[in-house]
Structure formats: C-alpha cells, structure tokens
Structure 1
Amino acid sequence: MAPKNPSREARERLRLYQARQGLHERQRRRRVRDNVVGAGVLVLVAALATGSQLVHASTSGAAGASPSASSTASPTPSASATAGNTGDVPSKGIAKGATWTGTLTLNKDIRLGIELDGAKAPQAASVEIDLIRKQFYEGTTCHRLADSTGFHFLQCGSANGDGTGDAGFQYGPLENVPSDGTYAKGTIAIARGATPSSQTTQFFIVTDDTTLDPSTGGYTVVGKVTSGLSDLVAKVTSKGIADAGSDGSGKPKVATEITGATIAQQK
C-alpha cells in the first residue's frame, strides 16, 4: 500500500536512499574505531565498552542438545547501542492495533506469506509496515543464517546488506517477548543491539524452533510466516552456511535477496 502523497513518498524514498548510502562509511569508521571487524563477527571484544552486544543463545531445551557455557551470538545487528529512541521513528499508531498480512519475496521465487501483530507489538509492527510501504527492504539481503541444534534463523534487512546500517532511526521498547526464550518455527522477530532501544530495520525469521537466553532481554516478536517456510528451508537453509563463525552461523551459501514485499491491514 503506497502513501497517498506522491511528493512526500518521493522525499521519504530520497531520505532513505541517502541514509543507506551515507551510513556505510560511518559504520566502517565506527567498526575500525571500536575494533569490530565486520558484520557477523561473533566474538566478544570489549563489547560493553564499545556498545556492541553479545547475546547468549541457550540450547538446553532443545532435543539432543546439552547446555553450553560458551557464549553464542543471537540475532543482532552490529549497530552501536543507544540509550533511547533516535531519529524519526514511525508512529506506533500506524499499525492501528490490527492484524496485517502480506508477502515477503526472496530471490524472486520464494514467496512467504507474513502476518504482523499490531496489537501485541504496535511499535515494531508500525515500523515494519512503514518500511514495507516505502519499499525499503527491496534489494536488501539476508546476510546471516543459523542452522544448528536449537538455533535456526535467517536474518535480513540491514541497509548495507552486511549487518550494518539502518534507516536513520533506532527504537524501542521490546514488545511481545517470549518469557521462556522459546521462538517457535515461523516466528518473525526484530534483531537489536545491546539495549531495548537499538532495534532498527533488521529482523529474523525462525526456520525451526529456537531457544535464546531470556536473561538478555529477548527479542520483539512482531509476527509470523504463514506460508512458504518449507520453500525457504529447501532453497536456502538446507544449502548450508559459508564461512561459519564460532557459533555456527554465517552468510548463507545461497545468496538471498529481498525482491519484493507487500502489506495490508486484514479486513
């Protein structure tokens, strides 16, 4: 659904384009300054000092898994943490407390049906609706895949396609977070940095039941995939991970791009 004012839409698209272009260089300098050596690097290097977050993923509840004392990073962008909302955050009233349905198309031939919960996650749903309407996601990539015992997701939506960048804002609060840290297969949740107000444009799709340590604060569950998940698993997840990090996650072997997205309020 497109905004009714074409000139406003053009200005918004220009703003988002400029943000995506300019942030890459700023993020590069920030990574050098903070000794963050690239998106998806999952080793804790003075993370509290630099504002980066390392979140522990618990696999103790997964079948056949044993608890691990070593940390593994959960879905999180590499953007620096913020103490509160920054930038022009879309109004949480956009979602209208309603259920929204649409599609997310990957690589032109993987069509996912999606549903956003504007009642349980009004701020996150409103942000996602706004970004989809403005076609922010089209042409961005899904840069990170995890597929190990109790740890299954595909992370997408960074402005620069490598886990960095945003649309010029970061926001909170966390909403609709599972108290037990269990994210069911098909869940769509919002990635974040160290604080509840560091959510940006990145989200992750849970491709099989996943448990993430709830003591870190958890992740906003904004909605779910209603169809097409098996196609995603067959064409992307099952093909494996290239250059996996210490937690087994990394860039998907099958390059995955968001080629289309639609959203509309459920009637």
Structure 2
Amino acid sequence: MVASSKKHSREQRDARERLRHYSARNTVHENSLARRKRDNLLSVGVGLVVIALVATAQVFYFSAGPGTPEPTPSFTPDPSASAPVQENIGDVPDASVSEGRIWTGELTLNDVALGIELDGAAAPQAVASIVDSISSDYYAGTTCHRLVKTDNAGLIQCGSLDGTGASDPDYAYGPVENAGVGGFYPAGTIAMARTGNNAFSNGRQFFIVFDDAIIPDDAAGGYSIVGSVVSGLDALQSEIIAGGIVDDAEDGAPVIATSITGFTIQ
C-alpha cells in the first residue's frame, strides 16, 4: 500500500508539473500573439504616416516647389497679365456684321499679297470685328511686330497700332470662337491674338500660322480661328519669314520690318 501511495503521489506531482509547463507555454504564446498584433498595428500606422508625408511632399513639389511646371507663353498682344473681364469693351460691332458667310479678300504685308478667306459662320464676333476694322481703315500702316519660329510653332503676329504689340485698352471682346482642336493650328490659319487666360481680351491683332503650330489652351481656352490664307504663303515665307528674327531669337521682332500695306474684303 505504501508503494502504491508513493507512486500515486509521484504521478500527481508529474501531472501538476505538466500542467504548470503547459500553462506557462500557453501564457507565452498568448503574450506573443498580443505583441505581434500590437506590432502589426504600429507598422500599419507608421506606413500610413509615411504615405501621407510622401503625398504631401509630392503636392508641394509639383504645386509650389522646384517641380512646378514652367508657364507656357501665350500668343498675346500684351505681355502683362490682366484680370479677366467678361464683357466687351469699346465700340465692338454686333456679331451680325459677319453675316454668317465666307468673306474673301487680300491682305498685303510689305509687297507680299496673301489671298484670304474669313469664316463669318465659325467665328461671327471675331470676323465682324475684322470686317468693321477693315472698313474703317484701322489696319493700314499697322505693323507685324512679332515673329515666332520654334519646333512647335511658326507664326507672324500683325495689327499692332504702336508697333510694340500692346493691346488697346479701349477695345476688347469675347468669347473665344472656333479654337484649334487640341491646340493644333495648321499652316495657313488666321487666328486672333489675346491676353493669356482671358477669353474677353480679343482685340484687332491677329496671327498667321506659316508652319503647323501646337499652341496649348490656357484657362480661357484656345484662340479664335477666323479664317485662312489661301494663296501667297510661300511668298510670305521666302520674302519675310526667311529674314529671321532679331538677335536670332525664337520669338521676337522680324529682321525684315513688316507692316500691313493693304487689306481688302468682300
């Protein structure tokens, strides 16, 4: 009986020891799971903070920092910025003057005669302005003060009254009509110049595209296409454009001083 009692006691001790070891391992396991859960939550939190910081840095870089995109120059009669005005200024003729039809005529730059067509249906307000300005002899003697020759554009801008390209503060109209699709203005295009980001800053100045041009839209859109040159573009290239730009620039005054010596329409 004594031996049996001792054996039973030893078995009880062994059972208690196994239970203690099991409880200890289980506690360690549970603590490990809890610690792993805390670590995972901490990792997720740190990751979200890092993503937020990276996103903030990118926004700053591209909106206010060194990654800010360079502004694209506008083909505008006035290099100074102006606040958009959403109404016509001055004695702007009614759009009905364009009669919604095709006008044909001749524009002469120095001794180069260009046959032109103006589309009163596509750009009624702009064509009305040109027709009215021709009838009042506004264009006679005005200059072509600006020549642009880049990989993306070739154009000459005309109609500057004082020769500087400054806009007339007493005459402006809008909106933009018949702009180039996707910023594309094919060779031969005649379009109105305006101040950047202002759809109601069209005046009397216009530009003639002699090489296909890509002119990106700005906040106001594109540039009003009023018509096209149907003859004489080659002569314009050889007799005026070929002379180049002052100081060998890509954008500036033409070396061959150019003015409008004739403008007729019918």
Contact 2:100 2:121 in 1 (8 A): yes
1:143 maps to 2:145 = yes
CA distance in 1, matches of 2:239, 2:71: 29
Distance of aligned partners of 1:167 and 1:74 in 2 relative to their CA distance in 1, 3 Å threshold: closer
Q: Which residue is 2:76 aligned to?
A: 76
Contact 1:159 1:167 in 2 (8 A): no
Distance of aligned partners of 1:81 and 1:115 in 2 relative to their CA distance in 1, 3 Å threshold: farther
How many Å apart are 1:179 and its aligned residue? Answer: 2.6
Distance of aligned partners of 1:167 and 1:94 in 2 relative to their CA distance in 1, 3 Å threshold: farther
- Alignment-mate amino acid for residue 186 of structure 1: G
- Alignment-mate amino acid for residue 159 of structure 2: G
How many Å apart are 1:244 and its aligned residue? Answer: 5.6
Q: Which residue is 1:238 aligned to?
A: 242
How many Å apart are 1:150 and its aligned residue? Answer: 1.4
Alpha-carbon deviations, 1:96-135, whole Å to 9, x = none?
100001000111x200011100001000000000111111
Q: For 1:214, what is the secondary structure of its paired residue?
A: coil
How many Å apart are 1:165 and its aligned residue? Answer: 3.8
Contact 2:118 2:226 in 1 (8 A): yes
Alignment equivalent of 1:110, drawn from 109, 112, 134? 112
Higher relative contact order (CA 8 A, sep 6+): 1
Segments of structure 2 that go 5 or more residues without pairing to the other structure are: 1-68
Q: Which residue is 1:252 aligned to?
A: 254
Alpha-carbon deviations, 1:217-254, whole Å to 9, x = none?
11000100010011000011111100366xx2000000
Contact 2:74 2:195 in 1 (8 A): no
CA distance in 2, matches of 1:72, 1:244: 21
Q: For 2:265, what is the secondary structure of its paired residue?
A: strand
How many Å apart are 1:71 and its aligned residue? Answer: 3.8
How many Å apart are 1:169 and its aligned residue? Answer: 1.2
Q: Which residue is 2:49 aligned to?
A: none
- Alignment-mate amino acid for residue 207 of structure 2: F
Q: Which residue is 2:5 aligned to?
A: none
Segments of structure 1 that go 5 or more residues without pairing to the other structure are: 1-68
Distance of aligned partners of 1:70 and 1:237 in 2 relative to their CA distance in 1, 3 Å threshold: farther
- Alignment-mate amino acid for residue 237 of structure 2: V
Q: Which residue is 1:62 aligned to?
A: none
Distance of aligned partners of 1:81 and 1:222 in 2 relative to their CA distance in 1, 3 Å threshold: farther
Q: For 1:104, what is the secondary structure of its paired residue?
A: strand
Q: Cα RMSD between the aligned structures?
A: 1.6
Distance of aligned partners of 1:87 and 1:218 in 2 relative to their CA distance in 1, 3 Å threshold: same
Q: How does 1:75-94 map to 2 (within 5 A)?
A: 75-78=75-78, 80-83=82-85, 84-94=87-97
Q: How does 1:160-239 map to 2 (within 5 A)?
A: 160-166=162-168, 168-194=170-196, 195-216=198-219, 217-239=221-243
Contact 1:138 1:261 in 2 (8 A): yes
How many Å apart are 1:193 and its aligned residue? Answer: 0.6
Q: How does 1:2-81 map to 2 (within 5 A)?
A: 70-78=70-78, 80-81=82-83
- Alignment-mate amino acid for residue 104 of structure 2: T
- Alignment-mate amino acid for residue 103 of structure 1: E
CA distance in 2, matches of 1:250, 1:129: 28
More helix by share: 2
CA distance in 2, matches of 1:202, 1:89: 14
How many Å apart are 1:151 and its aligned residue? Answer: 1.2
CA distance in 1, matches of 2:138, 2:83: 22
Q: For 2:251, what is the secondary structure of its paired residue?
A: coil
Report which of the two structures shows the higher radius of gyration computed on alpha carbons. Answer: 2
Distance of aligned partners of 1:130 and 1:81 in 2 relative to their CA distance in 1, 3 Å threshold: farther
CA distance in 1, matches of 2:189, 2:262: 19
State TM-score, norm by structure 1.
0.69
Contact 2:146 2:254 in 1 (8 A): yes
Alpha-carbon deviations, 1:9-53, whole Å to 9, x = none?
xxxxxxxxxxxxxxxxxxxxxxxxxxxxxxxxxxxxxxxxxxxxx
Q: For 1:207, what is the secondary structure of its paired residue?
A: strand
**Taking every aligned residue pair, what percent have the same amino acid on both sides?**
48
State TM-score, norm by structure 2.
0.69
